[in-house]
């Protein structure tokens, strides 16, 4: 049975990927910062319904950027799905935006790739990125008038100090993508890498039980804040349903899916009612 090593399993996208991986009969080795984090996952209704037994286990990794932290836990793994990364939030970020976003995003990705290269059995690595990684956020007015496609790239990446968490998040995504592609070109490992770039992801966060948390973290708050009478500034983006994002991660593991590609995910059309449109490029 093929084993997936998964980061970010307690997050919005990561948990849905987790569920679909188990439904697809993979074994999942999930990284958590503390083993106490696994309790919420094991207590969730989707996991109870699946009852995965020995196909599910957890490994404690407090810091994904620590040198060698992933070397041993990747033993016997066939696929790596790297979802974990700092996201924008109204709480818990602090004043040092560079330290919060850039280091974990860039060094976390590179550390994972380096460790994966030490295991000949790993065939594919899937990395969750964002459309923010290819948008020129240094000129928002121009960006809102620009139509992006699978060939788009940005070479104008905001530099610190960052004025907002959104600016730092966008910079982190762009820098992590560029760093991963440069590493792959230089090292030429035996595995392929697939980058998943969704727009704003909407869908139920199955691990959130506190309504206040729904209004503080992730893109769901863009929808929910006005519903409860609050205000959220408008922003230019595309949307994609959570299920489509998670499905794209699992589909990227199939042998017929080309690797070393960027897959852009969006719902399609100005109405946003389409499902699962994907564009890819090398």
Q: What is the tens place of the pLDDT at every residue in 83-124?
A: 999 987 656 688 899 999 999 999 999 999 999 999 999 999
Please check the confidence at residue 23 and state whether its pLDDT lies above 90.
yes
Please check the confidence at residue 71 and state whether its pLDDT lies above 90.
yes
For the chain, percent of residues with pLDDT exceeding 70: 85
pLDDT at 90: 53
* Mean pLDDT rounded to a whole number for the chain: 88
Please check the confidence at residue 270 and state whether its pLDDT lies above 70.
no
Instruction: Report helix angle 103-116 to 165-187, nearest 10.
Output: 20
Cα–chain-centroid distance for residue 76? 23
Q: Which alpha helices (DSSP H) does the chain contain, by range?
A: 12-23, 38-43, 45-50, 97, 103-116, 140-143, 165-187, 211-214, 220-227, 242-251
Q: Among 17-26, 101-110, 268-277, which is the least confidently predicted range?
A: 268-277
For the chain, percent of residues with pLDDT exceeding 90: 65
Please check the confidence at residue 281 and state whether its pLDDT lies above 60.
no
Please check the confidence at residue 28 and state whether its pLDDT lies above 70.
yes
> Could you give all domains of the chain from N- to C-terminal order, each with its CATH number?
3-281 (3.40.50.720)
Please check the confidence at residue 277 and state whether its pLDDT lies above 60.
no
The DSSP line for 225-240 is: HHHTT---------EE
What secondary structure letter does DSSP report for 277?
E
Please check the confidence at residue 56 and state whether its pLDDT lies above 70.
yes
Q: How far apart are CA 38 and CA 210, in angstroms?
A: 18
Residue with tokens 């530099």: 159
Please check the confidence at residue 141 and state whether its pLDDT lies above 60.
yes
Give the model confidence (pLDDT) of 179-204 as tens digits. 999 999 999 999 999 999 998 889 88
Q: How far apart are CA 274 and CA 267, in angstroms?
A: 5
Give the model confidence (pLDDT) of 213-267 as tens digits. 665 667 766 666 676 677 667 665 688 999 999 999 999 999 999 999 999 998 8
Residue of 231, 84, 200, 180 whose CA lies nearest to 135: 200
> Residue 17, Cβ neighbours under 10 Å: how many?
27
Please check the confidence at residue 210 and state whether its pLDDT lies above 80.
no
């Amino acid at each position: 049975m093929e084993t997936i090593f998964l980061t970010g399993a307690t997050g919005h996208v990561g948990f849905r990927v987790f569920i679909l991986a188990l439904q697809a009969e993979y074994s999942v080795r999930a990284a958590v910062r503390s083993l106490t984090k696994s309790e919420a996952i094991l207590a969730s209704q989707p996991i109870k319904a699946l009852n995965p037994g020995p196909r599910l286990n957890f490994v404690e990794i407090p810091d994904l950027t620590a040198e060698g932290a992933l070397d041993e836990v990747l033993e016997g793994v066939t696929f790596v799905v790297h979802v974990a990364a700092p996201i924008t939030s109204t709480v818990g970020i602090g004043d040092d935006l560079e330290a919060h976003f850039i280091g974990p995003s860039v060094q976390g990705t590179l550390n994972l790739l380096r460790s994966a290269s030490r295991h000949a059995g790993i065939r594919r690595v899937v990395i969750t990125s964002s459309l923010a990684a290819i948008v020129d956020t240094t000129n928002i007015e121009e960006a809102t008038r620009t139509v992006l496609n699978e060939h788009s790239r940005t070479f104008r990446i905001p530099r610190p100090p960052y004025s907002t968490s959104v600016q730092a998040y966008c910079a982190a995504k762009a820098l992590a993508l560029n760093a991963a592609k440069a590493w792959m070109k230089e090292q030429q490992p035996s595995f392929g890498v697939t980058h998943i770039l969704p727009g704003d992801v909407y869908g139920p966060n199955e691990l959130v039980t506190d309504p206040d948390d729904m209004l503080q973290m992730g893109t769901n708050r863009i929808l929910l804040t006005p519903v409860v009478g609050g205000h959220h500034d408008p922003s230019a983006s595309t949307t994609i349903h959570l299920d489509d994002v998670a499905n794209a991660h699992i589909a990227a593991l199939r042998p017929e899916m080309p690797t070393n590609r960027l897959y852009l995910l969006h719902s399609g059309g100005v109405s946003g009612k389409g499902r699962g449109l994907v564009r890819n490029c090398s």
